[in-house]
A and B are shown apart, each in its own frame.
Chain A
Amino acid sequence: MIIDWAHFTPLTSLGGGALIGLAAAILFISSRRIAGISGIFGEVLSGTRDGMGWRLAFLAGLLAAPWVVPGLAEGTGTARFGVSLPVLFIAGLLTGYGTRIARGCTSGHGVCGLSRLSPRSLVAVLCFMASGMVTVTVLRLLTGEAP
């Protein structure tokens, strides 16, 4: 392991994380809702009328972010190990299906679930972290880039 100090951003990452935690806390205190993006987006797609209002409001706020604070969302399209559009599409399918049957993603299980001290969420986080690390390692080996 070589730590990439040149790209290490402790202050903005910690600060951004705190904002994410604040958003989750606000949503939970006001209405006992869990700020899980895959759950919110997935329920909207399922067409459930119940709870549609707050979910659409949350998504509107999320989508407004790059317009309200422009210039912060740079580097949104370039990956370290770039994959073709069809592979990106497959990645999306896996994410969508996986997060729905696991009932959560990085936000729902990672932030909210761990903050609720949920054993299920801990298992989910360990699984997607391990799976993500193996995937990126294989990608690096396949693309032949030196570590």
Chain B
Amino acid sequence: MSRLVVWLVPLVAGLLFGIGLMLSGMVEPAKVQAFLDVGGHWDPSLALVMGGAIAVALPVLQLARRRHPPAPHGPVEGRLIIGSVLFGLGWGLSGYCPGPALVAVSGGSGEALAYVVAMGLGMMAGNRFGARELRRI
């Protein structure tokens, strides 16, 4: 049973997550940019992705929190804001965010591969430096 939980459950969760990303349109950079293009021809579809996901996850996570003491929410630090702004820049430029880009690479997209290779390098840089320094801001 423990083995099942350790391997099979995350595998199924990853698969469902990936199918959800494809079905929702999150893996289409054109759709992502159309969602972010509020001043142009705005496609509001992707707001419904977050809405649908939270509608399912919020009650479950809140119920689970009631049974176990919740992890405390950390403070809002400089690195949270700076990091998120940098991520938004990458998201808007490419139309990809991490999950959809990985799915697109597996689906055979060369553009997504260029993005994912760079994303991996960026993550390794983030793992090594910046997080501690920017915490003090």
Contact = CB atoms under 8 A, between A and B. Distances in A.
Interface of A: 1-4, 7-10, 12-33, 35, 37-38, 41-42, 45-46, 53-55, 57-69, 72-81, 83, 85, 87-103, 105-107, 109-112, 114-120, 123-125, 127-137, 139-140, 145, 147
Contact of B83 (A13, A28, A98, A134): A98
Interface in B17-34: 17-34
Interface residues of B, number: 114
Contacts of A25: 56-57, 60-61
Interface of B: 5-34, 36-46, 48-58, 60-62, 64-65, 68, 70, 73-76, 79-112, 114-127, 130-131, 134
B38 A133 contact: yes
A16 to B, nearest CB: 3
Contacts of B33: 79-81, 136, 139
A31 B7 CA distance: 11
